[in-house]
Structure 1
Amino acid sequence: MNEAPHLTFDPDTPGVSRGHLVVPGGSDRGELSLPVFSLNKGEGPHLLVTGGNHGNELEGPIVARRLIKWLPKEQICGRVIVLPVLNPLAVEAWSRNTPLDGLNLNRVFPGRADGSVTQRIADAVSRVLLPMADTVFDLHSFGPTWDFPPAATTHPIADPDLMARTVRTAEAFKLPLTLVWQHNDTAGMFDIEAQNQSKVFVCAEFGGGTVGADNLAIYEAGVRNALISLRLVEGKAEYPTFRQRKSSQSLETRLSDQLKSPARGIFEPRCSVFDEVNQGDIIGVLHPIDSLTAESTDIRAQGLSIILGIGSGSYVHANEVVALVARPLKL
């Protein structure tokens, strides 16, 4: 028995290949077989597309399946490998984390061959699939309790050349937002491991709420635009329509751009994504639930900025992030 992670097919074989990425078993559960699609058209870019990193973000797996359907007729060069569901255990549970070990797959890269099941998935992807690619698209969505625009995102990268190439690739999606996102929880993220291997990595984040036909069409159009930019397929890239507009803007957000709830209660948003706000403008209102005499609390903008994401109306705890703001990107 082969105890190392491996593909059940040879991705160097010309044309379409379908098979599995085999993740060896461990003490917590047996072997996993993750379905993988590969299309090899010879010389050209090598792209890896993944979805289902987080189990409660299902737009990615759906768009990845759509890509598999039309790619054989449209790809003209290079190699594209698509793994629609990175973490089937989390998807089955509609959970951000893997139920068996409680781990977030996007925080355990490069993984461990002798670790828990989540760590073994990360290890298999890091050792088998990632070396085959020069560009990676990881398809996410922002979660059901947020209003967040369709976005192609990255984190600040120390290598200025890789940073510039990554931003150019993210902008090629032509989604309403290209975002450089400073984050305080990047240890073990898939993109950090890819960037350590000098790969261009773009994380697509798509909104929140329900999975809808209109949103999926925008997401799919963004992925197609990016493939056109890589010259893997032919065509004319176009801005998808989002809330009656065809446009895109590049923004950056820092840790200080998080607006947090001062107490627990029901958060009521008072603005929408891409709204421009000035210092003192009301972003949202926090309503207490344990008193009819206590006043509701206004949550206000700390300065001139653009609304990047806002809680879509939910019960929040003290110090929980309820809104994100941003400003124009300056590389």
Structure 2
Amino acid sequence: MREAPHLTFDLDAPGVSRGHLLVPGGADRGELSLPVFSLNKGEGPRLLVTGGNHGNELEGPLVARRLIEWLPEEQTCGRIIVVPVLNPLAVEAWSRNTPLDGLNLNRVFPGRADGSVTERIADAVSRVLLPTADTVFDLHSFGPTWHFPPAATTHPIADPDLMARTVRMAEAFNLPLTLVWEYNDTAGMFDILAQNQGKVFVCTEFGGGTVGADNLAIYEAGVRNALIALGLVEGKADYPTFRQQKSGQTLETHPCDDLRSPARGIFEPRCSVLDEVKQGDLIGILHPMDSISTESMDIRAPGTSFVLAIRSGVHVEINEGVALVAGPLKI
């Protein structure tokens, strides 16, 4: 009989517990042990905090470890479970996907007990950790070739009550941006699984792929703000300063807001994240490199909007994303 995934400690035990989520082995590799921290202070919200879903987004694991350092002194009620690294194989390889099977952990939920290692991780998280929480914070960043403002994000949710509660929770981070993000590639996502179970799930996107002290301070402050809003930590929330501003805005983006390269070449950004642009304003320039005689191509704003994300001067293929714009939330 195949061993079931399980925790090595009792979640109901009061106080601090440290142990592992054991992910059973399979044909491709042996058992995995994911370090888990739990602080149980009785009645109150039940929160799950995860990082390292994608292995090349390292801000999440770092903020999760910072959280573990100060929670024992500051948590006042409820239970918080922290898993700094969901996919250690991808984190060790600094890879978005798991090197062993090539799968994206955030596209295979709820996973399979008899599947490959990525699917078994998703199965263990879905069966052991997700049922323990009513709220989930999944800590991401936007990847190493993009600029993206610190943001708390969600997807459109059919249940209007859950949608409203999720947006309010995302706004409670007081990050520079709260984003309702509609796009087509959502099958197998961790947040879709949780939201289908009626849970509030907020995905934080923590900038680009370069880990810096200033950005980490913003991200940590945002998580603290959200814990205060949940009533798990006492204190006064604040807006972290980003680009000399202490304010946030709530936007939405759709698949048509994804600007793509018209050809192969090097993308040169000509604006910054959260810049407000009008129709026809220059977003960036695509410089073809396979012919000197081929003119560079302007990429312009399709309408009045805010620059949400922009590629960081990289070589791109035809039809590859180079920028993303957004407008005010209408729901």
Q: Is this a same-fold pair by TM over 0.5? A: yes
Mapping for residues 197-236 of structure 1, pairs under 5 Å: 197-236=197-236
2:266 alignment partner AA: I
- Residues 194, 200 of structure 2: 8 Å contact kept: yes
2:51 is equivalent to residue 35 of structure 1: no
Mapping for residues 274-293 of structure 1, pairs under 5 Å: 274-293=274-293
Q: Give the SS at the match of 1:222.
A: helix
Q: Distance in 2 between matches of 1:248 and 1:282?
A: 24
C-alpha RMSD over aligned residues: 0.9
2:239 is equivalent to residue 246 of structure 1: no
- Which residue matches 1:18? 18
Q: Distance in 2 between matches of 1:5 and 1:123?
A: 8
- Which residue matches 1:255? 255
- Which residue matches 2:174? 174
Mapping for residues 66-77 of structure 1, pairs under 5 Å: 66-77=66-77
- Cα deviation per residue 1:285-312 (whole Å; 9 max; x = unaligned)? 0111122222111111111111111111
- Which residue matches 1:132? 132
2:32 alignment partner AA: L
- TM-score (normalizing by structure 1): 0.99
Gaps of 5+ in 1: none
- Cα deviation per residue 1:107-132 (whole Å; 9 max; x = unaligned)? 00000000000000000000000000
Q: Distance in 1 between matches of 2:14 and 2:300?
A: 57
- Which residue matches 2:156? 156
- Which residue matches 2:111? 111
Q: Distance in 2 between matches of 1:108 and 1:178?
A: 25
- Which residue matches 1:317? 317
Q: Distance in 2 between matches of 1:79 and 1:150?
A: 26
Q: Give the SS at the match of 2:273.
A: coil
Q: Distance in 1 between matches of 2:330 and 2:298?
A: 31
Between the two proteins, the alignment pairs up a number of residues equal to 331
Q: Distance in 2 between matches of 1:156 and 1:163?
A: 7
- Cα deviation per residue 1:63-89 (whole Å; 9 max; x = unaligned)? 000000000000000000000000000
Moved over 2 A (4+): none
- TM-score (normalizing by structure 2): 0.99
Gaps of 5+ in 2: none
- Which residue matches 2:193? 193
Identity %: 83
Q: Distance in 2 between matches of 1:55 and 1:309?
A: 20
Q: Distance in 2 between matches of 1:258 and 1:305?
A: 12
- Which residue matches 2:95? 95
